A = this chain, B = another copy of it.
Amino acid sequence: MKPIHIGLLGVGTVGGGTYTVLKRNQEEIARRAGRKIIVKMIADKDMDKALSLADSDVTITTDAHEITKNSDIDIVVELIGGQTIARDLILEAIAHGKHVVTANKALLANHGTEIFAAARAKGVIVAFEAAVAGGIPIIKALREGLTANRITWIAGIINGTANFILSEMREKGLSFEQVLAQAQKLGYAEADPTYDIEGIDAAHKITLMSAIAFGIPVQFSKVYTEGITQLTGEDIRYAEELGYRIKLLGITKRVEKGIELRVHPTLIPMRRLIANVEGVMNAVVVRGDAVGATLYYGAGAGAEPTASSVIADLVDVTRMQNADPMHRVPILSFQPDLLSDTPIISMEEVETSYYLRMQVIDKPGVMAEITHIVADHNISISALIQKEASSDSDRVSIIMLTHLTVERNINAAIVQIESLSVVMSKVIRIRIEELNN
Contacts and interface: CB of A to CB of B under 8 A. Distances in A.
A259 B342 contact: yes
Given A135-B292, A430-B266, A315 B31 contact: no
A138 B284 CA distance: 15
A261 to B, nearest CB: 5
A57 interface: no
Interface string A114-152: 001001100111110100001111001111111111100
Contacts of A87: none
B343 A259 contact: yes
Contacts of A143: 329-330, 332-333
Please indicate which of the listed interface residues A258, A265, A302 has the most CB atoms of chain B within 10 Å of its own CB: A258
Given A147-B29, A222-B344, A235-B430, A155 B435 contact: yes
Interface stretch (A38-46, A77-85, A239-247, A414-422): A239-247
Copies in the complex: 2
A267 B430 contact: yes
Interface in A285-343: 285, 287-299, 302, 304-305, 307-312, 315-316, 320-321, 324-326, 328-334, 336, 338-343
A358 B236 CA distance: 15
Given A116-B332, A148-B29, A339 B217 contact: yes
Nearest to A330: B143
A125 B325 contact: yes
Contact of A136 (B123, B124, B294): B294
B333 A291 contact: no
Contacts of A312: 144-148
A98 interface: no
A258 to B, nearest CB: 4
A387 B238 contact: yes
Contact of A235 (B346, B390, B428): B428
Contact of A147 (B120, B222, B273, B333): B333
A25 B148 contact: yes
B299 A296 contact: no
Given A211-B332, A255-B351, 14 more contacts: A120-B336, A136-B294, A143-B332, A143-B333, A145-B312, A155-B435, A235-B357, A238-B399, A242-B383, A259-B345, A268-B434, A272-B436, A291-B299, A294-B296
Interface of A: 17, 21-22, 24-25, 28-29, 31-33, 116, 119-120, 123-127, 129, 134-137, 140-150, 155, 211-219, 222, 224, 230-232, 234-235, 238-239, 242, 244, 246, 249, 251, 254-255, 257-262, 264-269, 272-274, 276-277, 285, 287-299, 302, 304-305, 307-312, 315-316, 320-321, 324-326, 328-334, 336, 338-347, 349-351, 355, 357, 383, 385, 387, 390, 397, 399, 401, 428, 430-437
